[in-house]
Amino acid sequence: MQQSFTIPMTRRDFMKLAGLTAAGAMLGGGAETPKAMAVAPPAPEVDFSETALPVLFDVDVCVVGGGSAGTAAAISAARKGAKTVLVERGISLGGLQTQGCVFPCMPTFADGSDTPYITDLNKRMEAQGTGPMLGFETDTYYGGGRAQYVPEFLSLVYDEMCEEAGVEILYNASLVGAVTADGKIAECVVQTIEGLAKIRARVFIDGTGDALLARFAGIPAEKGSEKNGRNQAMSLRFEMGGIDVGKVYRFFTKELKDDWTRGMFAKVLEDALKQGKPPFLEFAKWKKNEAFFQRGVERGTLKQDDIVYIQAFTIPGKTDTMSMNCPQMPPLEFSATDAVSQSKAVSFGRRMMRRLAAFFAGNIPGFEKSYISREASMVGVRESWRIRGKYYMEAADYFKARKFPDAVCRTAYPIDIHDVDLDLGEKLKKGQYYEIPYRALVTNELSNLIVAGRCISASFAAQASVRIQPTCMSMGEAAGIAAAWGMAHGVEANAVRWENIPKSERSYVSEG
């Protein structure tokens, strides 16, 4: 939700933040040396080099993490002829898109950003009956992306695309280590249902979202904000069924006089409702309806934390269901890069979810018969660890709308940080966009590693723009193409010059 960059701070939060800042200053951080706050210690690792383990796969390309980026990478590499394995700890591809219930795919606000993989995926999703909902094609949601990746359909389509391309998927397998030699990753180690095993590959692509493969292989990483070390807020998303969407729309627009929905979608929504078609409806807590949600707190149904961020979207193909982009667990209490804290955030979020669902059912007309129909099976981590690669993306790349000869995609999605107040500057104007260079996906240290998705080489603020699904997919697509092209032409992955790949073989060509 790009309208809301900030959360209000309570006195309790302010005191905590003050404490954190003071602790940071004692550690040598603080305003003078802001980057120090984001430096992440290396991942604890075990030396598996001499450990005899079964070799499950010996392939050209091994992609670890089957999220939006990793899946795109694996499919794209295989389509270019590389023998590819995709390792995923869950049992569905898509990562946050599917397991995290993250919906909808945000627009890039940059025309021409859809790369061939996205166009192909969108066609396949539309064939499932999950094309864009009426009302999503508005001026507010312009640019590329914007497709509606309904989780259950998407995981099926991803399986089919992998099968067609010849990608071998290894589900239920968690990366636990990497063996490096001569400036390369030689093998990665995975925990499977049978026990530990090794995978050998000529090129490795890290699509874990947490840069875990890169960190196991010794690549320097950062986490959280350079100013205070804190990660973006996490959410635990869920879906509710049994909703009368028309009633919900009328309540927000007519009773609450909330023009959020009306301003964006009034005409299409009214038409869709008249035709009995499922419209695109979004409601959110914002200044015009704040009092309504605040009353829930005053009555004791909700807690203040619950209403910091509330947002809901209808889903195509699920006519009585809404996807909840909440609850958002307080970023001052929980960290996405602390194993124990992240775990506590899940239980905390689950309680928030139950309170929100009860409040909606009891207070929003249209929700009377609603129920929780799906709970995310993956924590909604917006940002965790990010590599330090050959190129380091910064907020200035966004604000200056920078272009690069080795650009792999374009976006104008704003710097969308879910945390306490930050001075984020002006958004790009319509028609402006910036690009992501291939060099932000590769490192100086390891020649056969490519990183794609939300953990590329970027500052905290830059990551807050590149992290959306279409951009992650385009990065993954480029990673797969570069891996296969480099191998076919005897060029190491970190030495591939994207701009030297023939235009017809590139997924994106900069016009910059």
Ligand X SMILES: Cc1cc2nc3c(=O)[nH]c(=O)nc-3n(C[C@H](O)[C@H](O)[C@H](O)COP(=O)(O)OP(=O)(O)OC[C@H]3O[C@@H](n4cnc5c(N)ncnc54)[C@H](O)[C@@H]3O)c2cc1C
Residues that bind ligand X (CB under 6 A): 64-70, 87-90, 95-97, 100, 102, 104-106, 174-175, 207-210, 212, 235, 237, 325, 380-382, 453-454, 467-469, 472
Least separation, in Å, of the C-beta of 365 and ligand X?
Answer: 26
Listing DSSP states for 410-443 in one string gives EE-------EE-----PPPPTT--EEEEGGGGB-
Closer CB to ligand X, 90 or 316, in the complex? 90
Closer CB to ligand X, 227 or 467, in the complex? 467
Closer CB to ligand X, 228 or 235, in the complex? 235
Least separation, in Å, of the C-beta of 419 and ligand X?
Answer: 13
Whether 75 and 205 have beta carbons less than 8 Å apart is answered as no
| Interhelix angle 116-127/469-488, nearest 10 degrees | 120
Closer CB to ligand X, 24 or 169, in the complex? 169
Closer CB to ligand X, 130 or 235, in the complex? 235
Least separation, in Å, of the C-beta of 313 and ligand X?
Answer: 8
Least separation, in Å, of the C-beta of 53 and ligand X?
Answer: 16
CB atoms within 10 A of CB 138: 16
Least separation, in Å, of the C-beta of 509 and ligand X?
Answer: 23
Closer CB to ligand X, 251 or 436, in the complex? 436
Least separation, in Å, of the C-beta of 336 and ligand X?
Answer: 9
Residue with tokens 């995978």: 199
Least separation, in Å, of the C-beta of 88 and ligand X?
Answer: 5
Q: Which of 189, 510, 242, 197 is nearest to 370 (CA)?
A: 242
Closer CB to ligand X, 192 or 432, in the complex? 192
Least separation, in Å, of the C-beta of 69 and ligand X?
Answer: 4
Closer CB to ligand X, 29 or 86, in the complex? 86
Closer CB to ligand X, 456 or 496, in the complex? 456
Bridge partners (DSSP) listed for residue 170:
87
Q: How far apart are CA 36 and CA 362, in angstroms?
A: 47
Nearest 10 degrees: Cα torsion 208, 212, 218, 222: 90
Whether 452 and 69 have beta carbons less than 8 Å apart is answered as yes
Least separation, in Å, of the C-beta of 22 and ligand X?
Answer: 29
Q: Which of 203, 204, 214, 207 is nearest to 488 (CA)?
A: 203
Where would I find the beta strands (DSSP E) of 50-126?
55-64, 84-87
Least separation, in Å, of the C-beta of 220 and ligand X?
Answer: 19
Least separation, in Å, of the C-beta of 324 and ligand X?
Answer: 10
Listing DSSP states for 257-280 in one string gives --HHHHHHHHHHHHHHHHTTPPBP
Closer CB to ligand X, 192 or 294, in the complex? 192
| Interhelix angle 339-363/290-298, nearest 10 degrees | 100
Q: Please give the structure tokens belonging to residue 406.
A: 């080795």
Exposure on the CB side of residue 457, measured as CA atoms within 13 A: 21
Nearest 10 degrees: Cα torsion 252, 258, 261, 263: 150
Q: Please give the structure tokens belonging to residue 263.
A: 């301003």
Closer CB to ligand X, 384 or 494, in the complex? 384
Least separation, in Å, of the C-beta of 260 and ligand X?
Answer: 16
Whether 229 and 20 have beta carbons less than 8 Å apart is answered as yes
Closer CB to ligand X, 24 or 389, in the complex? 389
Residue nearest to ligand X (CB): 67
Least separation, in Å, of the C-beta of 311 and ligand X?
Answer: 9
CA–CA distance from 350 to each of 8, 237, 372, 393 (Å)?
Answer: 22, 9, 11, 35
Q: How far apart are CA 194 and CA 355, in angstroms?
A: 40
Q: 490 — alpha (psi -120 to 50), left (phi > 0) or beta?
A: left
Closer CB to ligand X, 24 or 463, in the complex? 463
Whether 497 and 485 have beta carbons less than 8 Å apart is answered as no
Q: How far apart are CA 325 and CA 309, in angstroms?
A: 8
